[in-house]
Amino acid sequence: MKVVYRDILSKINPWLPDPQIILIKGARRAGKTTLLKIIEKNLAKNKAPTKYISVDQHMYEPFWKSLDSFEMYLKTELEFPARKRLYLFLDEVQYLDDPGLFLKTLYDKYVKEIKLIVTGSSSLELLKTREFLPGRKVEFTLERFSFLEFCRTTFMERKQEMRFSEKNWDDLTVFYKTFKTRLEGAFLEYITWGGYPEVVLQNQRGKKLQLLESILNTYLEKDVSSFFNISNISGYNNLVQLLTSQIGQLVNKKEISSTLGLHYNTVNTYLDILSGTFMFDFVRPFFTNVRKELSKMPKVYVRDLGIVRYALSKNFMKYELIDGHLVENFVYRHLLEDYAPGDIHFYRTRGGTEVDFVLGRRGAAVIEVKFSKRISKIPRSVKRFLENYGNNVNRIVIVTMDKLAKEGDVYYVPGPLFPFFKFSA
Protein backbone atom coordinates (compact mmCIF):
# COMPACT_ATOMS: atom_id res chain seq x y z
CA MET A 1 0.00 0.00 0.00
CA LYS A 2 1.23 3.50 -0.86
CA VAL A 3 2.63 5.45 2.09
CA VAL A 4 1.50 9.08 2.08
CA TYR A 5 3.58 11.75 3.79
CA ARG A 6 1.65 13.10 6.81
CA ASP A 7 1.97 16.82 7.49
CA ILE A 8 1.93 16.24 11.26
CA LEU A 9 5.45 14.78 10.99
CA SER A 10 6.88 18.29 10.65
CA LYS A 11 5.39 19.07 14.08
CA ILE A 12 6.42 15.79 15.76
CA ASN A 13 9.99 15.40 14.46
CA PRO A 14 11.45 18.41 16.36
CA TRP A 15 10.36 16.74 19.63
CA LEU A 16 12.12 13.42 19.00
CA PRO A 17 15.43 14.45 20.64
CA ASP A 18 13.68 15.91 23.70
CA PRO A 19 12.81 13.90 26.84
CA GLN A 20 9.03 14.50 26.87
CA ILE A 21 6.60 11.69 26.06
CA ILE A 22 5.06 12.20 22.61
CA LEU A 23 1.33 11.43 22.84
CA ILE A 24 -0.48 11.09 19.49
CA LYS A 25 -4.27 11.07 19.71
CA GLY A 26 -6.70 10.31 16.92
CA ALA A 27 -9.58 8.21 15.70
CA ARG A 28 -9.25 4.48 15.17
CA ARG A 29 -7.82 3.75 11.69
CA ALA A 30 -6.78 7.38 11.14
CA GLY A 31 -3.25 6.19 10.41
CA LYS A 32 -1.57 6.30 13.83
CA THR A 33 0.12 2.90 13.47
CA THR A 34 1.43 3.79 10.01
CA LEU A 35 2.70 7.10 11.39
CA LEU A 36 4.60 5.27 14.16
CA LYS A 37 6.11 2.94 11.57
CA ILE A 38 7.26 5.92 9.48
CA ILE A 39 8.90 7.53 12.52
CA GLU A 40 10.46 4.20 13.51
CA LYS A 41 11.84 3.67 10.00
CA ASN A 42 13.36 7.16 9.92
CA LEU A 43 15.01 6.60 13.31
CA ALA A 44 16.37 3.23 12.18
CA LYS A 45 18.16 4.97 9.31
CA ASN A 46 20.26 6.68 11.98
CA LYS A 47 20.77 3.35 13.76
CA ALA A 48 18.65 4.38 16.75
CA PRO A 49 17.30 1.41 18.79
CA THR A 50 13.50 1.10 18.47
CA LYS A 51 10.75 -1.17 19.77
CA TYR A 52 7.09 -1.17 18.70
CA ILE A 53 4.34 -2.77 20.84
CA SER A 54 0.63 -2.86 19.94
CA VAL A 55 -0.98 -2.61 23.38
CA ASP A 56 -4.45 -3.73 22.29
CA GLN A 57 -3.00 -6.92 20.80
CA HIS A 58 -0.87 -7.64 23.88
CA MET A 59 -2.99 -6.21 26.68
CA TYR A 60 -3.21 -9.53 28.51
CA GLU A 61 0.56 -10.03 28.60
CA PRO A 62 1.93 -10.31 32.16
CA PHE A 63 4.69 -7.76 31.52
CA TRP A 64 2.15 -4.91 31.92
CA LYS A 65 1.43 -5.89 35.53
CA SER A 66 4.37 -4.04 37.05
CA LEU A 67 7.36 -1.94 36.09
CA ASP A 68 9.68 -4.76 37.18
CA SER A 69 7.95 -7.16 34.77
CA PHE A 70 8.16 -4.65 31.93
CA GLU A 71 11.85 -4.03 32.65
CA MET A 72 12.46 -7.78 32.47
CA TYR A 73 10.61 -7.92 29.15
CA LEU A 74 12.81 -5.16 27.69
CA LYS A 75 16.00 -6.79 28.97
CA THR A 76 14.96 -10.13 27.49
CA GLU A 77 13.84 -8.75 24.12
CA LEU A 78 16.52 -6.09 23.68
CA GLU A 79 19.91 -5.00 24.89
CA PHE A 80 18.46 -2.74 27.55
CA PRO A 81 19.63 -0.45 28.90
CA ALA A 82 22.10 0.31 26.10
CA ARG A 83 24.47 3.13 25.26
CA LYS A 84 21.92 4.65 22.91
CA ARG A 85 18.47 5.75 24.01
CA LEU A 86 15.63 3.36 23.14
CA TYR A 87 12.69 4.78 21.19
CA LEU A 88 9.72 2.86 22.58
CA PHE A 89 6.45 2.97 20.60
CA LEU A 90 3.28 1.99 22.49
CA ASP A 91 0.25 1.85 20.18
CA GLU A 92 -3.31 2.27 21.59
CA VAL A 93 -2.08 2.89 25.12
CA GLN A 94 -5.62 3.44 26.46
CA TYR A 95 -5.93 -0.35 26.76
CA LEU A 96 -3.54 -0.36 29.72
CA ASP A 97 -5.27 -0.62 33.10
CA ASP A 98 -3.79 2.70 34.22
CA PRO A 99 -1.91 4.28 31.30
CA GLY A 100 -1.13 7.54 33.11
CA LEU A 101 0.52 5.90 36.10
CA PHE A 102 2.37 3.36 33.94
CA LEU A 103 3.82 6.05 31.65
CA LYS A 104 4.74 8.32 34.57
CA THR A 105 6.58 5.54 36.40
CA LEU A 106 8.44 4.46 33.27
CA TYR A 107 9.30 8.05 32.35
CA ASP A 108 10.52 9.03 35.82
CA LYS A 109 12.83 6.02 36.10
CA TYR A 110 14.14 5.87 32.52
CA VAL A 111 13.87 9.39 31.14
CA LYS A 112 17.47 9.19 29.84
CA GLU A 113 17.26 5.61 28.58
CA ILE A 114 13.80 5.58 26.94
CA LYS A 115 11.99 8.01 24.64
CA LEU A 116 8.27 7.19 24.79
CA ILE A 117 6.08 7.70 21.72
CA VAL A 118 2.52 6.56 22.39
CA THR A 119 -0.87 6.68 20.66
CA GLY A 120 -4.47 6.50 21.80
CA SER A 121 -7.92 6.44 20.18
CA SER A 122 -9.93 7.81 23.09
CA SER A 123 -9.29 11.29 24.42
CA LEU A 124 -11.69 10.47 27.28
CA GLU A 125 -9.38 7.77 28.60
CA LEU A 126 -6.25 9.74 27.74
CA LEU A 127 -7.55 12.68 29.77
CA LYS A 128 -6.87 10.51 32.81
CA THR A 129 -3.15 10.60 32.00
CA ARG A 130 -2.95 14.36 32.46
CA GLU A 131 -2.92 14.25 36.26
CA PHE A 132 0.16 11.99 36.09
CA LEU A 133 2.01 13.63 33.21
CA PRO A 134 2.14 17.42 33.72
CA GLY A 135 5.35 18.67 32.10
CA ARG A 136 6.21 15.15 30.96
CA LYS A 137 4.40 15.04 27.59
CA VAL A 138 3.54 16.89 24.39
CA GLU A 139 0.26 16.09 22.63
CA PHE A 140 -0.63 15.89 18.95
CA THR A 141 -3.88 14.96 17.22
CA LEU A 142 -3.68 12.94 14.02
CA GLU A 143 -6.72 13.53 11.84
CA ARG A 144 -7.74 11.35 8.90
CA PHE A 145 -6.20 12.53 5.61
CA SER A 146 -6.58 16.25 5.05
CA PHE A 147 -7.53 17.40 1.55
CA LEU A 148 -3.88 18.29 0.90
CA GLU A 149 -2.80 14.78 1.89
CA PHE A 150 -5.66 13.36 -0.17
CA CYS A 151 -4.43 15.30 -3.22
CA ARG A 152 -1.00 13.68 -2.81
CA THR A 153 -2.64 10.34 -3.55
CA THR A 154 -4.17 11.58 -6.80
CA PHE A 155 -2.30 14.25 -8.76
CA MET A 156 0.24 15.99 -6.52
CA GLU A 157 3.59 14.27 -6.07
CA ARG A 158 5.05 16.99 -3.85
CA LYS A 159 5.90 15.48 -0.47
CA GLN A 160 5.88 18.55 1.75
CA GLU A 161 2.89 20.70 2.60
CA MET A 162 2.01 23.12 -0.21
CA ARG A 163 0.17 26.24 0.91
CA PHE A 164 0.03 29.86 -0.21
CA SER A 165 0.05 32.88 2.08
CA GLU A 166 -1.67 36.20 1.41
CA LYS A 167 1.65 37.50 0.06
CA ASN A 168 1.59 34.74 -2.57
CA TRP A 169 -1.95 35.50 -3.77
CA ASP A 170 -0.82 35.69 -7.41
CA ASP A 171 0.77 32.22 -7.13
CA LEU A 172 -2.45 30.88 -5.59
CA THR A 173 -4.39 32.30 -8.54
CA VAL A 174 -2.09 30.61 -11.07
CA PHE A 175 -2.26 27.34 -9.11
CA TYR A 176 -6.07 27.43 -9.19
CA LYS A 177 -6.26 28.20 -12.91
CA THR A 178 -3.81 25.37 -13.63
CA PHE A 179 -5.46 22.68 -11.50
CA LYS A 180 -9.11 23.86 -11.25
CA THR A 181 -10.62 20.79 -12.94
CA ARG A 182 -8.47 18.34 -10.95
CA LEU A 183 -9.14 20.15 -7.68
CA GLU A 184 -12.90 20.07 -8.22
CA GLY A 185 -12.78 16.35 -9.07
CA ALA A 186 -10.68 15.60 -5.98
CA PHE A 187 -12.99 17.76 -3.86
CA LEU A 188 -16.04 15.79 -5.03
CA GLU A 189 -14.28 12.52 -4.18
CA TYR A 190 -13.14 13.76 -0.77
CA ILE A 191 -16.58 15.11 0.16
CA THR A 192 -18.10 11.75 -0.81
CA TRP A 193 -15.64 9.36 0.88
CA GLY A 194 -13.78 11.37 3.51
CA GLY A 195 -10.18 10.89 4.56
CA TYR A 196 -9.80 7.45 6.17
CA PRO A 197 -6.43 6.36 4.67
CA GLU A 198 -7.53 2.81 3.78
CA VAL A 199 -10.63 4.11 2.00
CA VAL A 200 -8.71 6.82 0.14
CA LEU A 201 -6.03 4.40 -1.08
CA GLN A 202 -8.57 1.85 -2.34
CA ASN A 203 -9.44 2.54 -5.98
CA GLN A 204 -12.47 0.25 -6.38
CA ARG A 205 -15.72 1.96 -5.42
CA GLY A 206 -17.36 -1.20 -4.03
CA LYS A 207 -14.36 -1.97 -1.85
CA LYS A 208 -14.24 1.65 -0.63
CA LEU A 209 -17.76 1.26 0.72
CA GLN A 210 -16.94 -2.10 2.32
CA LEU A 211 -13.85 -0.65 4.02
CA LEU A 212 -15.74 2.38 5.29
CA GLU A 213 -18.50 0.20 6.72
CA SER A 214 -15.92 -2.13 8.28
CA ILE A 215 -14.04 0.74 9.95
CA LEU A 216 -17.15 2.30 11.45
CA ASN A 217 -18.76 -1.00 12.43
CA THR A 218 -15.53 -1.96 14.22
CA TYR A 219 -15.67 1.40 15.99
CA LEU A 220 -19.19 0.61 17.22
CA GLU A 221 -18.29 -2.92 18.31
CA LYS A 222 -14.79 -2.44 19.73
CA ASP A 223 -14.78 1.11 21.11
CA VAL A 224 -18.40 1.81 21.93
CA SER A 225 -19.73 -1.60 22.93
CA SER A 226 -16.66 -3.20 24.52
CA PHE A 227 -14.47 -0.33 25.69
CA PHE A 228 -17.21 2.03 26.94
CA ASN A 229 -19.67 -0.75 27.84
CA ILE A 230 -22.54 0.79 25.88
CA SER A 231 -25.29 -1.82 25.56
CA ASN A 232 -27.81 0.25 23.58
CA ILE A 233 -25.88 0.22 20.30
CA SER A 234 -29.02 0.88 18.25
CA GLY A 235 -29.74 4.03 20.28
CA TYR A 236 -26.13 5.15 19.87
CA ASN A 237 -26.24 4.48 16.12
CA ASN A 238 -29.53 6.39 15.82
CA LEU A 239 -27.82 9.36 17.47
CA VAL A 240 -24.97 9.15 14.94
CA GLN A 241 -27.48 9.22 12.08
CA LEU A 242 -29.44 12.10 13.60
CA LEU A 243 -26.35 14.24 14.19
CA THR A 244 -25.03 13.48 10.71
CA SER A 245 -28.30 14.71 9.20
CA GLN A 246 -27.94 17.97 11.17
CA ILE A 247 -24.40 19.02 10.17
CA GLY A 248 -23.85 22.71 10.83
CA GLN A 249 -27.03 22.97 12.92
CA LEU A 250 -27.62 23.61 16.61
CA VAL A 251 -27.60 20.63 18.97
CA ASN A 252 -30.69 20.64 21.17
CA LYS A 253 -30.18 17.87 23.74
CA LYS A 254 -33.76 17.93 25.01
CA GLU A 255 -35.08 17.59 21.47
CA ILE A 256 -32.67 14.72 20.76
CA SER A 257 -33.73 12.97 23.96
CA SER A 258 -37.38 13.22 22.95
CA THR A 259 -36.83 12.22 19.31
CA LEU A 260 -34.72 9.15 20.07
CA GLY A 261 -36.40 8.12 23.31
CA LEU A 262 -33.11 8.34 25.22
CA HIS A 263 -32.72 9.69 28.75
CA TYR A 264 -31.21 13.20 28.81
CA ASN A 265 -28.19 11.97 30.81
CA THR A 266 -27.69 9.14 28.30
CA VAL A 267 -27.65 11.69 25.46
CA ASN A 268 -24.97 13.65 27.34
CA THR A 269 -22.88 10.50 27.83
CA TYR A 270 -23.17 9.48 24.18
CA LEU A 271 -22.26 12.98 22.96
CA ASP A 272 -19.16 12.95 25.19
CA ILE A 273 -18.10 9.60 23.73
CA LEU A 274 -18.68 10.76 20.15
CA SER A 275 -16.53 13.80 20.81
CA GLY A 276 -13.93 11.88 22.82
CA THR A 277 -13.47 9.27 20.09
CA PHE A 278 -12.95 11.92 17.38
CA MET A 279 -16.22 11.25 15.55
CA PHE A 280 -18.03 14.56 16.08
CA ASP A 281 -17.15 18.04 17.30
CA PHE A 282 -19.46 20.53 18.97
CA VAL A 283 -18.57 24.14 18.19
CA ARG A 284 -19.50 26.81 20.70
CA PRO A 285 -21.00 30.20 19.78
CA PHE A 286 -18.85 33.33 19.84
CA PHE A 287 -19.35 35.51 22.91
CA THR A 288 -16.96 37.85 24.67
CA ASN A 289 -18.64 36.54 27.84
CA VAL A 290 -17.35 32.98 28.40
CA ARG A 291 -20.30 32.05 30.64
CA LYS A 292 -22.74 32.83 27.83
CA GLU A 293 -20.61 30.85 25.37
CA LEU A 294 -20.78 27.71 27.51
CA SER A 295 -24.50 28.01 28.24
CA LYS A 296 -25.68 28.29 24.63
CA MET A 297 -26.32 25.41 22.22
CA PRO A 298 -23.35 24.30 20.08
CA LYS A 299 -23.29 23.38 16.39
CA VAL A 300 -22.31 19.89 15.28
CA TYR A 301 -19.73 18.78 12.70
CA VAL A 302 -18.29 15.38 11.81
CA ARG A 303 -14.52 14.95 12.15
CA ASP A 304 -14.49 13.08 8.84
CA LEU A 305 -16.92 13.31 5.93
CA GLY A 306 -16.80 9.54 5.41
CA ILE A 307 -19.10 9.31 8.43
CA VAL A 308 -21.78 11.08 6.36
CA ARG A 309 -21.45 8.50 3.59
CA TYR A 310 -21.68 5.70 6.16
CA ALA A 311 -24.68 7.08 8.05
CA LEU A 312 -26.74 8.66 5.26
CA SER A 313 -25.42 7.07 2.01
CA LYS A 314 -24.85 10.57 0.58
CA ASN A 315 -23.42 10.57 -2.92
CA PHE A 316 -22.82 13.52 -5.25
CA MET A 317 -22.40 13.09 -9.00
CA LYS A 318 -21.50 16.70 -9.85
CA TYR A 319 -19.37 19.36 -8.17
CA GLU A 320 -22.14 21.97 -8.48
CA LEU A 321 -24.60 19.76 -6.58
CA ILE A 322 -22.55 19.36 -3.40
CA ASP A 323 -24.53 20.28 -0.28
CA GLY A 324 -23.41 23.59 1.24
CA HIS A 325 -23.51 22.15 4.77
CA LEU A 326 -20.93 19.54 3.73
CA VAL A 327 -18.70 22.29 2.34
CA GLU A 328 -19.10 24.06 5.69
CA ASN A 329 -18.02 20.83 7.43
CA PHE A 330 -15.08 20.54 5.01
CA VAL A 331 -13.97 24.05 6.01
CA TYR A 332 -14.27 23.17 9.71
CA ARG A 333 -12.21 20.01 9.21
CA HIS A 334 -9.41 22.03 7.66
CA LEU A 335 -9.49 24.79 10.24
CA LEU A 336 -8.39 22.04 12.65
CA GLU A 337 -5.06 21.95 10.81
CA ASP A 338 -4.22 25.41 12.20
CA TYR A 339 -6.54 26.02 15.15
CA ALA A 340 -7.50 24.19 18.33
CA PRO A 341 -11.22 23.30 18.50
CA GLY A 342 -11.66 25.76 21.36
CA ASP A 343 -10.52 28.64 19.12
CA ILE A 344 -13.19 27.96 16.48
CA HIS A 345 -16.64 29.48 17.07
CA PHE A 346 -19.75 30.52 15.19
CA TYR A 347 -21.80 33.70 15.53
CA ARG A 348 -25.58 33.79 15.80
CA THR A 349 -27.97 36.59 16.76
CA ARG A 350 -31.36 36.14 18.41
CA GLY A 351 -32.92 36.88 15.04
CA GLY A 352 -31.10 33.93 13.48
CA THR A 353 -28.42 35.86 11.56
CA GLU A 354 -25.39 33.59 11.50
CA VAL A 355 -21.70 33.61 10.57
CA ASP A 356 -20.26 30.14 10.03
CA PHE A 357 -16.87 30.54 11.72
CA VAL A 358 -15.23 33.12 13.96
CA LEU A 359 -11.62 32.41 14.90
CA GLY A 360 -9.96 33.31 18.17
CA ARG A 361 -11.33 34.60 21.46
CA ARG A 362 -11.71 38.16 20.11
CA GLY A 363 -12.84 37.21 16.59
CA ALA A 364 -9.68 37.96 14.61
CA ALA A 365 -10.93 36.24 11.44
CA VAL A 366 -14.37 35.54 10.00
CA ILE A 367 -15.21 32.75 7.54
CA GLU A 368 -18.52 32.39 5.73
CA VAL A 369 -19.39 29.55 3.35
CA LYS A 370 -21.45 30.57 0.30
CA PHE A 371 -21.10 27.62 -2.05
CA SER A 372 -22.77 29.31 -4.99
CA LYS A 373 -21.83 30.86 -8.32
CA ARG A 374 -23.69 34.06 -7.46
CA ILE A 375 -21.41 35.84 -5.01
CA SER A 376 -21.15 39.56 -5.64
CA LYS A 377 -20.79 41.14 -2.21
CA ILE A 378 -20.12 40.48 1.47
CA PRO A 379 -23.00 38.47 3.00
CA ARG A 380 -25.35 40.43 5.26
CA SER A 381 -24.54 38.18 8.24
CA VAL A 382 -20.85 39.09 8.00
CA LYS A 383 -21.71 42.79 7.81
CA ARG A 384 -23.79 42.42 10.96
CA PHE A 385 -20.87 40.82 12.80
CA LEU A 386 -18.53 43.58 11.61
CA GLU A 387 -20.90 46.23 12.96
CA ASN A 388 -20.44 44.77 16.45
CA TYR A 389 -16.88 43.42 16.41
CA GLY A 390 -15.26 44.94 13.31
CA ASN A 391 -12.40 46.55 15.24
CA ASN A 392 -11.06 43.10 16.13
CA VAL A 393 -11.36 41.52 12.67
CA ASN A 394 -8.19 41.20 10.58
CA ARG A 395 -9.39 38.84 7.85
CA ILE A 396 -12.64 37.92 6.12
CA VAL A 397 -12.76 34.78 3.98
CA ILE A 398 -15.81 33.90 1.87
CA VAL A 399 -15.70 30.27 0.69
CA THR A 400 -17.31 30.06 -2.75
CA MET A 401 -17.99 27.60 -5.54
CA ASP A 402 -15.56 29.11 -8.05
CA LYS A 403 -15.01 32.80 -7.31
CA LEU A 404 -11.38 33.66 -6.53
CA ALA A 405 -10.83 37.33 -5.75
CA LYS A 406 -9.31 39.75 -3.26
CA GLU A 407 -11.24 42.90 -2.39
CA GLY A 408 -9.50 44.83 0.38
CA ASP A 409 -9.39 42.57 3.46
CA VAL A 410 -11.99 40.23 1.97
CA TYR A 411 -10.79 37.04 0.26
CA TYR A 412 -13.14 35.00 -1.94
CA VAL A 413 -11.75 31.46 -2.09
CA PRO A 414 -13.27 28.41 -3.87
CA GLY A 415 -13.95 25.43 -1.57
CA PRO A 416 -11.27 23.11 -3.02
CA LEU A 417 -8.69 25.88 -2.68
CA PHE A 418 -9.42 26.75 0.95
CA PRO A 419 -6.93 24.24 2.50
CA PHE A 420 -4.17 25.64 0.27
CA PHE A 421 -4.72 29.21 1.50
CA LYS A 422 -2.84 30.04 4.70
CA PHE A 423 -4.20 33.32 6.00
CA SER A 424 -3.22 35.20 9.14
CA ALA A 425 -5.74 35.82 11.91
Question: Over the stretch 41-79, which tens digit does the pLDDT of each residue have?
Answer: 999 998 999 999 999 888 778 889 889 999 999 998 888
Of the candidate ranges 6-20, 130-144, 301-315, the one whose mean pLDDT is the lowest: 130-144
DSSP classification of residue 189: H
Give the tens place of pLDDT for each residue, 375-385: 878 888 899 89
Predicted local confidence at residue 25, as pLDDT: 93
CA atoms within 13 A on the CB side of 369: 21
What three-state secondary structure class fits 47? coil
What three-state secondary structure class fits 106? helix
DSSP classification of residue 15: G
Closest CA to 219 of 30, 1, 24: 30
Q: Where are the domains of the chain?
A: 9-142, 148-422
Distances (CA, A) of 424 to 338, 364, 417: 10, 9, 16
Predicted local confidence at residue 126, as pLDDT: 62
Asked if pLDDT for residue 321 goes beyond 70, the answer is yes
Predicted local confidence at residue 392, as pLDDT: 85
Q: Which tops the pLDDT comparison, 360 or 412? A: 412
Evaluate whether 93 touches 139 at the Cβ level (below 8 Å). Answer: no
Of the candidate ranges 131-135, 144-148, 370-374, the one whose mean pLDDT is the lowest: 131-135
CA distance 142 to 8: 7
What backbone torsions phi and psi does residue 62 show, to the nearest 5 degrees?
-65, -20
Over the range 356-391, which residues count as b (16 or more CB within 10 Å of their CB) and which as e?
A: bbbbbeebbbbbbbbbeeebeebbebbebbbeebee
Predicted local confidence at residue 238, as pLDDT: 95
Give the tens place of pLDDT for each residue, 231-243: 899 999 999 999 9
Give the tens place of pLDDT for each residue, 140-189: 999 999 999 999 988 777 666 789 999 999 999 999 999 999 999 999 99
Evaluate whether 242 touches 267 at the Cβ level (below 8 Å). Answer: no
Predicted local confidence at residue 36, as pLDDT: 97
User: What percent of the chain shows pLDDT beyond 70?
Assistant: 94
Mean pLDDT of all residues in 283-304 = 81
If you count them, how many residues does the chain have? 425
Give the tens place of pLDDT for each residue, 84-126: 899 999 999 988 888 888 999 999 999 999 999 999 987 666 6
CA atoms within 13 A on the CB side of 244: 20
CA distance 303 to 93: 22
CA distance 174 to 334: 22
Cβ neighbour number for residue 333 with a 10 Å cutoff: 23
Predicted local confidence at residue 319, as pLDDT: 93
- What is the average pLDDT value for the chain, to the nearest integer? 90
Asked if pLDDT for residue 290 goes beyond 70, the answer is no
Closest CA to 199 of 322, 57, 273, 304: 304
Q: Which tops the pLDDT comparison, 243 or 128? A: 243
What backbone torsions phi and psi does residue 146 show, to the nearest 5 degrees?
-75, 170
**Between vectors from CA 304 to CA 95 and to CA 14, what angle results, nearest 5°?**
65
Predicted local confidence at residue 389, as pLDDT: 87
Of the candidate ranges 120-134, 289-303, 326-340, the one whose mean pLDDT is the lowest: 120-134
Mode of pairing for the β-strands spanning 280-283 and 299-302 = antiparallel
The class that CATH gives domain 9-142 is alpha beta
